């Protein structure tokens, strides 16, 4: 039941205010002892010609609330009307819903019939997949999962960086210093080696710059030899990337990269010319965006070549033509914010209304405690795969030591499986536990803390709760929905409230494109559960009815944590 809507409906009838306005005014009190919902009466003072406190007194006593069997009481607290939901009814309603839905809890049909495109990951071909790329990859995947959960048709786009002058440099470098055997054995490593070498040699040999420019021109013109090398580099890179994607459980619907849209650049240029939007500026062709408060958007450079903006315009036009999207999301770093504002403004100025459906979702930087920065040119990078490997290795060491200390017998295969899921989860969670615009500073102590705001803590909470359910089953006890109205103490109720708010957290996360809003709720659920666990005996409860009701609460916690972690790409384990 949507208690807030029910209360808003009655308040609308009493006050004469529009339902939507009432609904927006209803608040969640800052403290649980102040009730579940609160309605401020300040807005009614002018129309009712009374002090807000007097209005609150009258509304709280209105007979319309007496018929609500699920409402424990309505009282005025100063100028507010505070509403208290019957805890037993709320427990039955909330936990019954969760257990019946299982992992599907939180699903909605808000997006039914609507299509959302999420562009994310988008690594550069022939370059290593470093920890910076993980930000767009993890945030983008989370958003895709969240929108899918809400019923949208989601198209996952991987806009590969497979076009540009760097390929002229790579072709030149490979012909000069490439090792075929090393390329076959470890393509990204070999391509990085020659790319770094090119930039070192280029400083003292300007002829290399000219050769690279010539080779890129040949690639643009479709010369067979240059195209063959480009395709080779692209195909080999995708093999490496897909290995990492498989490990992270990621899939994409479309890998069209810059090269794909570069072929459509002429159509973009011609369209802008026909609409008389192109003007010359220092030899370049630009679209003036002064009315939007942005610098001019370059479409053609002075040498006649296109740039990112041209190709992004082509991509947006292609996507709308083929998918008729209701929203087109670009998960790209904050430094590209102006670029996307310009691209969307050009679309708007060209008369494409779907410009308003395009949205840039920015994110922060990735750092380590020694302030390491990443530069492919200098070879100074931290590979995502190596970070995950180290996280898994450290997790394995922790789990192995814990097993020895607790006398728990686990096979090597089981330890390896658990370490992979927890270690990978620790990395993923680091990217989604805070607002996406905040910078990330990696710390092993924080990432792998089994008692902190981490994936290991959440996964362990799930596993420990599963262990209780297994022990109960051995004793002949099963979760039961029959006596959920017994779950009324403060710890039980606060936990059930946290579980009930999970579905709203998913909607808020989608509205703000902020996966951390889901993770914040999952973390609250885990902490509320552990408080309940420490203060209330589950298998040692006074009656069998209470035991089974608390087991149902445990089942709901497991379902919700599992569902929430899945939304960011983290798997749970059944025991640790």
Closest CA to 386 of 365, 368, 398: 368
pLDDT at 103: 86
Upper half-sphere CA count for residue 304 (Cβ side, 13 Å): 3
Cα dist from 152 to 141, 149, 253, 375, 503, whole Å: 14, 7, 15, 37, 15
- Contact between 22 and 39 (Cβ < 8 Å): yes
Q: Tell me the pairing of strands 284-287 and 278-281.
A: antiparallel
Closest CA to 234 of 73, 123, 155, 330: 123
Radius of gyration over alpha carbons of the chain, in Å?
Answer: 29
- Give mean pLDDT, residues 242-268: 95
Distance CA 415, CA 248 (A): 18
**String of b and e for 58-75 (b: at least 16 CB within 10 Å)?**
ebbeeeebeebeebbebb
Over the chain, what is the mean pLDDT? 94
Which tokens hold the place of 423? 């270690």
- pLDDT band at 382; cut points 50, 70, 90: confident
- Window from 164-168, 254-258, 353-357, 560-564 with minimum mean pLDDT: 164-168
pLDDT digits (tens, 9 = 90+) for 501-545: 999 999 999 999 999 999 999 999 999 999 999 999 999 999 999
End-to-end alpha carbon distance in the chain: 36
Distance CA 421, CA 429 (A): 12
User: Who contacts 158 (Cβ-Cβ below 8 Å, separation ≥6)?
Assistant: 119, 120, 121, 122, 252, 254, 255, 257
pLDDT at 32: 81
Q: Which residues are catalytic?
A: 127, 130, 133
- pLDDT band at 380; cut points 50, 70, 90: low
Upper half-sphere CA count for residue 169 (Cβ side, 13 Å): 24
Strand runs (DSSP E) across 427-466, as ranges? 440-442
pLDDT(17) > 90: yes
- Give mean pLDDT, residues 102-124: 96
pLDDT digits (tens, 9 = 90+) for 453-469: 999 999 999 999 999 99
pLDDT at 220: 84
User: Who contacts 333 (Cβ-Cβ below 8 Å, separation ≥6)?
Assistant: 135, 136, 362, 363, 364, 365
Closest CA to 118 of 92, 148, 88: 148
């Amino acid at each position: 039941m949507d208690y807030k809507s029910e209360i808003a409906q009655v308040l609308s009838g009493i006050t004469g205010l529009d339902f939507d306005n009432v609904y927006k005014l209803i608040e969640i009190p800052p403290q649980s002892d102040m009730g579940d919902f609160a309605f401020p009466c300040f807005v009614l003072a002018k129309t009712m010609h009374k002090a807000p406190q007097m209005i609150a007194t009258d509304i709280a006593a209105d007979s319309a609330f007496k018929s609500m069997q699920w409402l424990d009481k309505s009282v005025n607290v100063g100028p507010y009307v505070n509403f208290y939901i019957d805890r037993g009814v709320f427990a039955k309603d909330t936990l019954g819903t969760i257990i019946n839905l299982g992992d599907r809890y939180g699903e909605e049909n808000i997006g039914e019939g609507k299509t959302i495109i999420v562009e994310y990951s988008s690594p550069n071909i022939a370059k290593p997949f470093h920890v910076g790329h993980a930000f767009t990859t993890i945030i983008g995947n989370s958003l895709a999962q969240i929108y899918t959960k809400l019923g949208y048709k989601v198209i996952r786009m991987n806009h590969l960086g497979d076009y540009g002058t760097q390929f002229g440099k790579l072709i030149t470098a490979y012909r000069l210093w490439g090792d075929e055997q090393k390329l076959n054995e470890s393509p990204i490593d070999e391509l990085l080696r020659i790319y770094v070498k090119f930039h070192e040699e280029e400083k003292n040999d300007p002829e290399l710059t000219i050769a690279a420019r010539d080779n890129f021109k040949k690639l643009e013109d479709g010369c067979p030899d240059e195209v063959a090398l480009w395709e080779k580099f692209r195909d080999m890179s995708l093999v490496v990337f897909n290995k990492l994607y498989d490990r992270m459980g990621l899939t994409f619907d479309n890998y069209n990269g810059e090269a794909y849209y570069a072929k459509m650049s002429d159509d973009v240029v011609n369209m802008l010319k026909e609409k008389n939007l192109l003007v010359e500026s220092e030899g370049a062709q630009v679209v003036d965006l002064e009315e939007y408060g942005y610098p001019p958007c370059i479409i053609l450079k002075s040498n006649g070549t296109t740039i990112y903006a041209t190709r992004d315009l082509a991509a947006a036009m292609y996507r709308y033509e083929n998918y008729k999207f209701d929203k087109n999301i670009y998960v790209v770093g904050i430094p590209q914010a102006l670029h996307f504002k310009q691209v969307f403004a050009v679309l708007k100025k060209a008369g494409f209304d779907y410009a308003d459906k395009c949205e840039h979702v920015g994110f922060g930087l990735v750092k380590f405690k020694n302030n390491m920065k990443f530069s492919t040119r200098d070879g100074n990078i931290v590979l995502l795969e190596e970070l995950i490997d180290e996280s898994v290795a450290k997790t394995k060491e922790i789990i192995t030591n814990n097993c020895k200390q607790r006398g728990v017998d686990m096979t090597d295969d089981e330890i390896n499986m658990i370490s992979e899921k927890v270690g990978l989860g620790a990395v993923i969670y680091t990217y989604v536990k805070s607002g996406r615009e905040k910078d990330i500073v990696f710390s092993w102590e924080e990432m792998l803390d089994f008692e902190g705001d981490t994936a290991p803590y959440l996964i362990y909470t799930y596993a420990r709760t599963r262990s209780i359910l297994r022990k109960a089953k051995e004793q002949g006890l099963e979760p039961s929905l029959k006596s959920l109205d017994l779950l009324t103490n403060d710890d039980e109720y606060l936990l059930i409230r946290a579980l009930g708010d999970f579905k709203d957290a998913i909607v808020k996360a989608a509205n703000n494109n902020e996966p951390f809003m889901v993770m914040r709720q999952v973390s609250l659920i885990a902490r509320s559960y552990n408080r309940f666990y420490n203060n209330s005996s589950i298998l040692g409860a006074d009656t069998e009815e209470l035991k089974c009701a608390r087991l149902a609460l445990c089942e709901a916690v497991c379902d919700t944590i599992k569902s929430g972690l899945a939304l960011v790409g983290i798997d749970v384990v059944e025991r640790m």
